[in-house]
Amino acid sequence: MAGYNRRMDALTETLRQRVYALWDALAERAPTAEGALDALLAALCELVAADDAHWLAAVRLPDMVAGDPVHGWRPRFFHYLRPPSPVLTQRVAEQVTQLEAGVVDITTVRNVALAGAFRANRLVDLAGEAWFADDYYRRYYLEQGRADAIWCGCPVSADAEVYIGLFRSAAQPRFTPAERDTVAFVLRGLRWFHRQSLLGRGLLAASAPLTGVERKVLQGLLGGRQEKEIAADLGQSPHTTHSHVRGIYRKFGVNNRAALMALWLGKGGAG
């Protein structure tokens, strides 16, 4: 932590002001609002001249397989800044399948080994120079038009984390330690954003992930809208909206809006 603090002290005042402005802008909008994640990822890309970014939510399952190299951690939600190509979607599915089979790349193993602590690493930080000659790097990075990455792990709870990846093509130089530390500085102050993003997707306290419609209804509830107003906003009947509200309450283990708000604000037992 002392080394991290020294690196943060080296950030220029101009950069600090840009980061503070980003934090203020994010605080003005709900993390579950349409485009909120994209705004964060786009701002990170602009700060360090990255080509693309991913946001990944992961949870730790209680029934770990013996010898599991990632200790029960599993991806549950992917969000891409730019629409993924069919090949990228296929490669991500391959990696998930391999993970279930216990075949995990060293960059993932070393990143997950630090679960519970905030961290930011470049690929070379995680694996060293020799790894860049590996078939995994060729298949899952170079063939996707990516030559380098910064990965940040952001703990939200003991069993939930957010991973953010920023990527550059071979036409650009590798990320520098200073650029890695800039990304770390931005994300280190956004645990609240990640927590609410996970809550809004039913990945932190809910018994099952929320559907897309449920997420929109939840946004209305948290914004103080009445059920009939939410129904009108979404073009639903009040009966349909009420059914979604009951489903949301059931998934979060609460009985009313007040209990849901308490959970959202970090005051509920289920959170």
For the segment(s) 212-264, the CATH number from 3.40.50.300, 1.10.10.10, 1.10.3720.10, 2.70.98.90 is 1.10.10.10
Task: Please state whether the predicted TM-score (pTM) of the whole model is above 0.85.
Answer: no
Per-residue pLDDT of 14-66, as tens digits, reads: 888 899 999 999 988 878 777 899 999 999 999 999 999 999 999 877 555 67
Q: Write out the CATH class of domain 2-200.
A: alpha beta
What are the DSSP calls for 17-42, one per residue? HHHHHHHHHHHTS-TTSTTHHHHHHH
pLDDT tens, 73-109?
889 889 999 999 999 999 999 999 999 888 999 999 9
Using the Cα atoms of residue 103, residue 106, residue 111 and residue 115 in order, give the sign of their dihedral: positive
In the prediction, which pLDDT does 142 show?
Answer: 97
pLDDT tens-digit readout, 206-252: 667 778 898 889 888 888 899 999 999 999 999 999 999 999 898 87
Which single residue is written with the structure tokens 């209680």?
62
- pLDDT single digits (tens) 112-130: 999 999 999 999 999 999 9
Q: Which of 178, 129, 186, 196 is nearest to 152 (CA)?
A: 186
| pLDDT at residue 131 tops 80 | yes
DSSP state of 133: G
DSSP run (H or E) holding 111: helix 106-112
In DSSP terms, 242 is beta-bridged to: none
Which stretch of DSSP H or E encloses residue 160?
strand 160-168
* 241-250 core/surface letters (b: 16 or more CB in 10 A; e: else): bbebbebbbe
Of 104, 130, 113, 204, nearest in space to 160 by CA: 204
Q: Is residue 151 over pLDDT 60? A: yes
Return d(Cα 161, Cα 18) in angstroms, integer: 26
Can you give the pLDDT at residue 200?
A: 79
What is the Cα–Cα distance from 79 to 98, expressed in whole angstroms?
20
CA nearest 91: which of 156, 40, 136?
Answer: 136
Domain locations in the chain as residue ranges: 2-200, 212-264
The number of angstroms, rounded, from the C-alpha of 90 to the middle of its chain's C-alpha atoms is: 20
Higher pLDDT, 6 or 90: 90
